[in-house]
Amino acid sequence: MSDFKAWNPDENNPVYAPDYEIDSESDGTLFDDDTCSSHSMSTLNSDEISDYFHSINGFTYRNDENLPLVFPVLAETSQLHRLFHSVVRLSHDGQNISPEASKLLRVGIPNGNLKVLDFPTNCGTWAQEMAEAHPEAMFVSIDIKPLTAHTPRANITFEVYDVYAGIAEPDSTFDIVHARQCVTTTKDYNLLLREMHRVLKPGGILVLTEMPFQAYEGNDPFKILESSPRRAAALQLVRKALTHQGIDLSVWEDMPARLSPRHPHWTEGRTNPIPDQPTVQVAKGFHLLSVRTRLVPTGSWHPDDAQRKIGALARLLFSYTWKSLLPVFIMMGMSQDKAQATVDGVLEEVNSGQTKGYLKCHRWTARKPHS
C-alpha cells in the first residue's frame, strides 16, 4: 500500500473518485471551503430545495416527518460521505463489497446483465467505482435526498424518491442489493429489509454494511469504551436521542436474527409500491448468512502501519461527525452552549491522541432462498 494522499477535488467536476490513502498527519484541509467543488444543494433551484429540505434550529434536514433527524445537510456533507466510504473500504481490505457478491459480479449471470441496487446513493462514490469496475453490470442507485450532481455513466441510473414508502421496483429485479449505514436513516428498518428482500431475485445476494454508534476500548475491543469518559457519555446521549426518535438501534446487535426466516417481522403485511404490480411472493427471510467485522481505530495510535493510517482517516471523519451531531443535542433540550460544550469535550478527547479506542464495521452477507 502506497503512502496516503489527500484527494483534491477538481473544481469543474461534480463527482470524485477518492484515492484510498491519505497522509496520517492530515490536518483536515480536505474540508476547506476552497476545495469543495459543489455544496450539497448547489444543483437545485430554490423551489426544489424547499421541496426536499427544511431548517430546524438553523440546520438543514430532509423535509419528511417520517424520517429521523440525525445528520443535517452541511456544505461538507458530500466530503464526509466520501471519507466514510474510504474508511469502510480500507477497513474491509480495500473491498467495496463482500467476496460472495464480488464473485457473482465477476462470473455474471447466464441470461442478460447482472443488476445491482445500491442504497443510499449519498455522494455516489460506491456506485461510480463499482460501475467502472463492472461495466457489464447495471446499477440502480437510490436515495431519499438529492445530495450532489453525478457524472452520467451508461450503466448507472440514479433515482431520488421516498424509499421508505417502498422501493419502486418490481419483485425479483436485482441479483445484488447493497445497503450501507441505513439503521439511523429509518424508523422502520424491518420494512426496509422486507423491501430489499422483495426486489431481490431468488438466490440473490444481500450485502449490508454498518458502523454502529458504539465505541470499544483499544486494549480490549470486547469492552465498551470507558477510558474516554466524555466521548462515552456523549455516545450514550446520542443513542438515547436516536432511540427517542424511533430508530431501532438494537438492529445492530441482532441483525442475524432480523435476517433469519424465523424472525416474526417476516410475517407482517406488506404492499408493492408499484401501481398494478401486486406482490405475489411471501417474504421468507434470508439464509447462508456470513458476517465480517473489522475494528476501526479512532485515531492514529495503532502499532500496525495500515491500521494507523485508517485510524488517521477515522479520526478526521469522527471529528466532523461529532460536529454535525450538535443539533441532535439541541433537539434533546440542551442549550446551545451546553451542546457545544459537549461536542467540544468529545473533540478534545478525540484529538488529544491520549486515548485509544475502536469502532466496529460490520458487513453481513446473505442470500434470498430460491423457494
pLDDT, tens digit, for every residue of 43-66? 445 455 567 788 887 888 888 788
The answer to whether the beta carbons of residues 160 and 146 sit under 8 Å apart is yes
Same domain for 171 and 267, yes or no, is yes
If one counts the domains in the chain, the total is 3
Longest distance between any two alpha carbons in the chain, whole Å:
61
Q: What is the pLDDT of residues 208-222, one digit of tens each?
A: 999 999 999 999 999
pLDDT for res 145: 85
Above pLDDT 90, what percent of the chain? 66
Q: What is the pLDDT of residues 300-319, one digit of tens each?
A: 999 999 999 999 999 999 99
- Whether residue 180 has pLDDT greater than 80: yes
Q: What is the pLDDT of residues 250-295, one digit of tens each?
A: 999 999 999 999 999 998 755 555 555 555 445 589 999 999 999 9
Decide if 70 is inside a domain.
yes
Q: Which residues contact 84 (CB under 8 A, 6 or more apart)?
A: 181, 211, 317
Decide if 6 is inside a domain.
no
Task: Give dist(CA 7, CA 179) in Å, integer.
Answer: 25
Decide if 10 is inside a domain.
no
Q: Which residues contact 298 (CB under 8 A, 6 or more apart)?
A: 215, 311, 314, 315, 318, 350, 356, 357, 358, 359
Same domain for 272 and 134, yes or no, is yes
Q: What is the pLDDT of residues 219-247, one digit of tens each?
A: 999 999 999 999 999 999 999 999 999 99
Decide if 188 is inside a domain.
yes
Decide if 201 is inside a domain.
yes
Q: What is the pLDDT of residues 140-178, one digit of tens each?
A: 999 988 877 888 999 999 999 989 889 999 999 999 999
Same domain for 205 and 280, yes or no, is yes
CATH number at residue 102: 3.40.50.150
The answer to whether the beta carbons of residues 268 and 319 sit under 8 Å apart is no
Q: Which residues contact 60 (CB under 8 A, 6 or more apart)?
A: 40, 41, 53, 54, 72, 73, 74
Task: Give dist(CA 89, CA 104) in Å, integer.
Answer: 19
Decide if 2 is inside a domain.
no
Q: What is the pLDDT of residues 324-333, one digit of tens each?
A: 999 999 998 9
| Strand blocks (E) in 317-356 | none
- Whether residue 9 has pLDDT greater than 90: no
Work out the number of other CB atoms within 10 angstroms of the CB of residue 1. 10
Task: Give dist(CA 310, CA 228) in Å, integer.
Answer: 20
CA torsion sign, 334 to 73 to 350 to 36? negative
Above pLDDT 70, what percent of the chain? 82
Q: Which pTM value belongs to this model? A: 0.84
Same domain for 60 and 198, yes or no, is no
Mean pLDDT score of the chain: 84
Decide if 195 is inside a domain.
yes
Decide if 3 is inside a domain.
no
The answer to whether the beta carbons of residues 114 and 138 sit under 8 Å apart is yes
Find the domain containing 182 and state its range: 98-212+248-292+362-367
